[in-house]
A and B are shown apart, each in its own frame.
Chain A
Amino acid sequence: MRVLVTGAAGLVGAEVTARLVAAGHCVVALVHRTTELVPTTGAAIGTVPFEAGTEAPVSFVRGDVTQPRLGLAEGEFDALAGTLDRIVHSAAQTDFGLADAVYQASNVDGTVHVLDLAQRGAIPLVHVSTAYVCGEREGVIAEGDLDRGQAFANPYEETKFRAERLVAVAADEGLPVAVVRPSIVVGAERTGVIRDFKNIYVMVKLMAEGKLRLLPGHYNATPNLVPVDYVADVVAEAAGERFAEVRGATLHAVGPRSISLRALSDVMAEYPSFEVARFVPPTSFTTDALPRREWVYYTRVGALYESYLRRRVEFDDAATRAFLRRRPAASGEALLRRLFDHCLRVGYITAAAVAPEPRVAAEAR
Chain B
Amino acid sequence: MTTKTSTADPEVRTAARELVGSMAPNREAEVTDASRLAQDLGFDSLALIELMLVAEERFGLPPIDEAEASTVTTVGGLADLVAAVRGRAA
Contact = CB atoms under 8 A, between A and B. Distances in A.
A36 B52 CA distance: 33
Interface stretch (A221-229, A241-249, A294-302): A294-302
A326 interface: no
A293 B46 contact: no
A1 interface: no
Nearest to A198: B44
Given A293-B53, A296-B53, A301 B46 contact: yes
Given A292-B63, A300-B66, A97 B53 contact: no
Most buried by B among A202, A206, A293, A296: A296
A300 B49 contact: yes
A26 B63 CA distance: 53
Contacts of B46: 202, 205-206, 301
Contacts of A292: 63
Counting chain B residues whose Cβ lies within 8 A of the other chain, the interface size class is under 10
Contacts of A300: 49, 66
A296 B45 contact: no
A59 B49 CA distance: 38
Interface in B47-90: 49, 52-53, 63, 66
A97 B45 contact: yes
Interface in A204-233: 205-206
Interface in A272-322: 292-293, 296-297, 300-301
Nearest to A197: B44
Most buried by B among A95, A292, A300: A300
A360 to B, nearest CB: 20
Interface in B25-56: 45-46, 49, 52-53
A123 to B, nearest CB: 36
Nearest to B49: A300
Interface of A: 95, 97, 202, 205-206, 292-293, 296-297, 300-301
10 contacts: A97-B45, A202-B46, A205-B46, A293-B53, A296-B49, A296-B52, A297-B49, A300-B49, A300-B66, A301-B46
Q: Which 7 interchain pairs have the tightest Cβ spacing?
A: A300-B49, A202-B46, A293-B53, A296-B53, A296-B49, A301-B46, A292-B63
